[in-house]
Chains A and B, each alone.
Chain A
Amino acid sequence: MLTMFSFSLPLLAWCAVSYLPFLWHPDVELQISADREGVTTVYTPGDRVSEEFFPEFEAAVRTQNEEVSPFMSLDKPVEAGSESSVRRSNKKVLRHLAPLLVSNGWLTEEQTKDDAAIYVAWKEIATGARLPEQPALTEENLEIVRKNWALMSRYSDSYNADNFVSRPLLSLVPQGRPANPDYLPAPHRVLISGFKEFTKPAEAERPSMWQRVGHSMRIVFGGFLLAALVGVPIGVICGTYSFFSKLIEPFTDFFRYMPAPTFSTLLVVIFLANDAPKMALVFIGTIFQLILVVANTTRRLELPLLEAAQTLGANQAQLLTRVVIPGILPNLYNDLRILLGWAWTWLVIAELVGVKSGLTEFIETQGRWRNFDSVYPVIILIGLIGFFTDQILSFIRGFIFPWTSEGPAITSTPVAKVLLFVPRWFKSAVDERIPYQPESTSPNKA
Chain B
Amino acid sequence: MIEIQTDPLLYRVQKPEVRERFEALKQRPVVLSVQNLYKTFESQTGTVTALKDVSFDVYRREFMCVIGPSGCGKSTLIRILAGLESSSDGKVLLDGNPVTGPGPDRGMVFQSYTLFPWLTVKQNVMFGPRMSGKRGTSAESEARQWIDLVGLSKFENSYPHQLSGGMKQRVAIARALANRPRILLMDEPFGALDAQTRCQMQSYLLQIWRNLDITILFITHDLDEAAFLADRILVLKANPGEVNEIIEVPVPRPRSAAQFITPEFIATKYRIDQLIHPDQGSPEDALPFPRMTPQGDDVE
In the complex, how many residues of chain A place their beta carbon closer than 8 angstroms to a beta carbon of chain B?
A: 33
Q: Within the complex, which residue of A305, A313, A326, A401 is in contact with B104, where a contact is CB–CB below 8 Å?
A: A313
Contact A312 B141 (CB under 8 A): no
Complex Cα spacing A307 to B141, Å:
26
- Minimal Cβ-Cβ distance residue in A for B162: A405
Contact B108 A308 (CB under 8 A): yes
- Minimal Cβ-Cβ distance residue in A for B82: A311
Check A88 for interface membership: any CB of B closer than 8 A. Answer: no
> For A322, what are the chain B residues with a Cβ–Cβ distance below 8 Å?
127, 130-131
* Interface positions of A from 309 to 323, Cβ below 8 Å from B: 309-315, 318, 322-323
Check B159 for interface membership: any CB of A closer than 8 A. Answer: yes
Give chain A nearest CB distance to B31 CB in angstroms.
14
Give chain A nearest CB distance to B8 CB in angstroms.
39
Contact A438 B102 (CB under 8 A): no
Q: Mark B90-127, 1 if CB is under 8 A from A, else 0.
A: 00000000000111101110101010111100000001
Check B48 for interface membership: any CB of A closer than 8 A. Answer: no
Contact A436 B144 (CB under 8 A): yes
Contact A443 B108 (CB under 8 A): no
Are A326 and B118 CB-contacts (below 8 A) given A312-B104, A313-B132, A436-B141?
yes
Contact B102 A444 (CB under 8 A): no
Contact B159 A304 (CB under 8 A): no
> For B225, what are the chain A residues with a Cβ–Cβ distance below 8 Å?
none
Give chain A nearest CB distance to B137 CB in angstroms.
6
Q: Mark B131-142, 1 if CB is under 8 A from A, else 0.
A: 110000110111
Q: Within the complex, which residue of A318, A402, A442 is in contact with B212, where a contact is CB–CB below 8 Å?
A: A442
Give chain A nearest CB distance to B219 CB in angstroms.
14
Contact B108 A439 (CB under 8 A): no
- Minimal Cβ-Cβ distance residue in B for A328: B118
Contact B114 A305 (CB under 8 A): yes
> For A401, what are the chain B residues with a Cβ–Cβ distance below 8 Å?
118
Contact B131 A405 (CB under 8 A): no
Which of B13-21, B175-183, B256-264 lies at the binding interface? B175-183
- Minimal Cβ-Cβ distance residue in B for A446: B180
- Minimal Cβ-Cβ distance residue in A for B181: A311
> For B211, what are the chain A residues with a Cβ–Cβ distance below 8 Å?
442
> For B172, what are the chain A residues with a Cβ–Cβ distance below 8 Å?
308
Complex Cα spacing A314 to B108, Å:
13
Contact A312 B118 (CB under 8 A): no
Give chain A nearest CB distance to B180 CB in angstroms.
6
Contact A444 B177 (CB under 8 A): yes
Check A445 for interface membership: any CB of B closer than 8 A. Answer: yes
Q: Mark B189-227, 1 if CB is under 8 A from A, else 0.
A: 000000000000000000000011110000000000000
Contact A312 B175 (CB under 8 A): yes
Contact A311 B118 (CB under 8 A): no
Check A329 for interface membership: any CB of B closer than 8 A. Answer: yes
Contact A403 B117 (CB under 8 A): yes
Complex Cα spacing A311 to B79, Å:
10
Give chain A nearest CB distance to B262 CB in angstroms.
31
Contact B160 A403 (CB under 8 A): yes
Give chain B nearest CB distance to A424 CB in angstroms.
12
> For B212, what are the chain A residues with a Cβ–Cβ distance below 8 Å?
442, 444
Contact B179 A312 (CB under 8 A): yes
Check A40 for interface membership: any CB of B closer than 8 A. Answer: no
Check A262 for interface membership: any CB of B closer than 8 A. Answer: no
Check A82 for interface membership: any CB of B closer than 8 A. Answer: no
Complex Cα spacing A404 to B213, Å:
36
Contact B141 A437 (CB under 8 A): yes
Contact A438 B145 (CB under 8 A): yes
> For B110, what are the chain A residues with a Cβ–Cβ distance below 8 Å?
304, 307-308
* Interface positions of B from 49 to 100, Cβ below 8 Å from A: 82-84
Contact B116 A327 (CB under 8 A): yes
Complex Cα spacing A434 to B122, Å:
15
Check B270 for interface membership: any CB of A closer than 8 A. Answer: no
Contact A443 B142 (CB under 8 A): yes
> For A311, what are the chain B residues with a Cβ–Cβ distance below 8 Å?
82-84, 102-104, 106-108, 176, 185
Contact A439 B131 (CB under 8 A): no
Q: Mark A110-145, 1 if CB is under 8 A from B, else 0.
A: 000000000000000000000000000000000000
Are A310 and B84 CB-contacts (below 8 A) given A403-B118, A445-B213?
yes
Nearest first, the 10 closest Cβ-Cβ pairs linking A and B are A313-B104, A405-B161, A308-B114, A310-B102, A312-B128, A311-B108, A403-B159, A313-B131, A326-B118, A444-B212
20 residue pairs from A and B, CB less than 8 Å apart: A302-B112, A307-B82, A307-B110, A308-B114, A308-B116, A308-B172, A310-B83, A310-B84, A311-B106, A312-B104, A312-B179, A313-B131, A313-B132, A313-B179, A322-B131, A437-B137, A438-B145, A443-B178, A444-B213, A446-B180
Give residues in A with beta carbon < 8 Å to B.
Answer: 302, 304-305, 307-315, 318, 322-323, 326-327, 329, 401-405, 434, 436-439, 442-446
Other than the known A315-B131, A444-B177, what 10 A-B pairs have Cβ atoms closer than 8 Å? A308-B116, A309-B131, A311-B82, A311-B106, A313-B179, A401-B118, A438-B141, A439-B141, A442-B211, A443-B146
Give residues in B with beta carbon < 8 Å to A.
Answer: 82-84, 101-104, 106-108, 110, 112, 114, 116-119, 127-128, 130-132, 137-138, 140-142, 144-146, 159-161, 172, 175-180, 185, 211-214
